[in-house]
Chain A
């Protein structure tokens, strides 16, 4: 505790130097992406082999952004992606955290088998069940503005409902809840609270960090969906951003526009992450799990 000022300053300087070097490693492809989005294709490709790749030099303009917006209904696709992602994420966090609560704090028949099955599904790559899943959703009923219909294809819900419950999210919550003191639940039981109340009033307020982590992960998984929307959402009305990326792969790839598109679609995720990061820190501070 009684460290002198000098070494602490030196340690700080060392820390910052180290952090900055690491930061460079992480940021350079992204700088390349953003800088490239400002250049015409030919120059972009010629610059790509030298330090100029990271510098906004030469013929700089926002033309690529203008062209990208013309080529793809970006606003609409971002809306689709954000909506599908946000709804799935909220439902997923609710459903999965509740299940994890039951797995950790309650005893019921078949519990360990169920949990084992849930964890095992984590291994199934989505690509291998995409076709069977298509057959399943194609035979499910739906009640919408056209009355009772069969088949979910070409809609928002076909992109949402199958992805609400997933092993990773449940697993994240289970691991986190296991570290929480059991006395909290027991004390609440003694006070006569029901289990759902305990989940909502006692456990959820303590689960800030894991909610943030699970939310980020779910957001990314959903926001980057590609194969499923290609198969299940056939009209532009329901198309998400990753399918939009394919709009730039013409016979001659529109590199600059693609970089502009990438930059634009990356912004919502960064914003989401930054907002969560703040909430994340706030939640930790308020719960007193750590000062």
Chain B
């Protein structure tokens, strides 16, 4: 927060205090009642076994819900040996390891790993292999996917939005038509957009496959964009950028328009190149807008949900699970509102930590 205009010791300070409190109170009261109170209720629920539908009484379960989503374990396995003591191989030639099931399903020697599942494994010294197990692999995948989505979508979308804003900020005839067109995807709800894009991404004869086929004169082999673990999340990212970029273009544009025209005139008089104008006039003037755009995109990206629900429901093979999708899936689908709340609380704390970091990095240098 930069310095306020009235210091606390100035004569008008009491009045500023009174007016300030009066002016924030409507917003704060509404927010307390309709956002913070429900969130606190959800927070409280995450420590119970509260269900969406149930005649049974709710019980306090402490950190169980958090233990369930965050539990991790490690197991190192040696390869199977055949009768001659040689390392055994699978049919496809890879080294054969004992089945994880024998360790994680009711094995009395490994009670801490019971019901855990493989999240991923890494090769270790020699032929041994280290398995990282999680009590909730789907949650872990949702976490990783969500972070990946944010890390890709936030900068890409912000960059393209700025590019479009600069293009659209030129004094060209008919520019309003383009501005409207670029903005159009934004006005259509994400649910609807996701529906339309299912046609575009369709496996055999989808629009995208047909187009790529034509452009490469048939050399392009159709790809099942949403049906493969390797492409599904990327396809969703591309669509999300497409849908959201127009809005952030407008935000950049409103930032661009607060930059005084006299600065540009001065730059022109000094014979600055286009890049110099951008670097020394435009970009510094967009500082607050840049923070706004990045913060907003990041936060929105973390709540990735409707496109997942419409396009893939977390599949194939959990490659598009997201935290909010899992929170909804548990809270409503499995009627486990406590488990869903725990994910929401985790997401909240996680993003809070990130945004505090972001704020620290983008703080105004004094």
Contacts and interface: CB of A to CB of B under 8 A. Distances in A.
Chains A and B touch each other in the complex, with CB atoms below 8 Å apart: yes
Interface residues of A, number: 101
B259 interface: yes
B296 A168 contact: yes
A107 B17 CA distance: 6
Interface in B1-55: 1-2, 4-8, 12-13, 15-21, 23-24, 26-28, 30-31, 33-39, 41-42, 45, 52
A131 B331 CA distance: 9
A52 to B, nearest CB: 11
Interface of B: 1-2, 4-8, 12-13, 15-21, 23-24, 26-28, 30-31, 33-39, 41-42, 45, 52, 164, 167, 170, 172, 175-176, 178-193, 196-197, 199-200, 202, 205-207, 210, 242, 246-247, 250-251, 254, 257-261, 268, 288-289, 291-292, 295-296, 299, 302-303, 305, 324, 327-328, 331, 337, 340-341, 343-344, 347-348, 351-352, 355
Interface centre among B38, B178, B302 (most CB of A within 10 A): B38
Contacts of B352: 120, 123
Contacts of A269: 187-188
B23 A123 contact: no
Nearest to B204: A49
27 contacts: A27-B181, A29-B200, A30-B185, A32-B199, A33-B196, A49-B206, A95-B30, A102-B23, A108-B24, A121-B35, A123-B303, A123-B347, A124-B344, A127-B324, A128-B340, A129-B41, A131-B42, A131-B331, A133-B38, A136-B38, A164-B30, A189-B5, A195-B23, A224-B190, A245-B191, A270-B180, A277-B179
Nearest to A241: B189
B364 to A, nearest CB: 10
Contacts of B182: 22-23, 26
Contact of B1 (A26, A112, A182, A266): A112
Contact of B178 (A23, A109, A245, A266): A23
B27 A170 contact: yes
Given A102-B19, A163-B34, 19 more contacts: A12-B172, A19-B178, A48-B199, A107-B4, A124-B344, A125-B344, A127-B305, A128-B331, A128-B343, A132-B41, A137-B34, A161-B34, A189-B6, A195-B19, A216-B247, A242-B189, A277-B180, A289-B258, A290-B259
Q: Is the interface of A mostly helix, strand, loop or mixed?
A: helix
Nearest to B323: A125
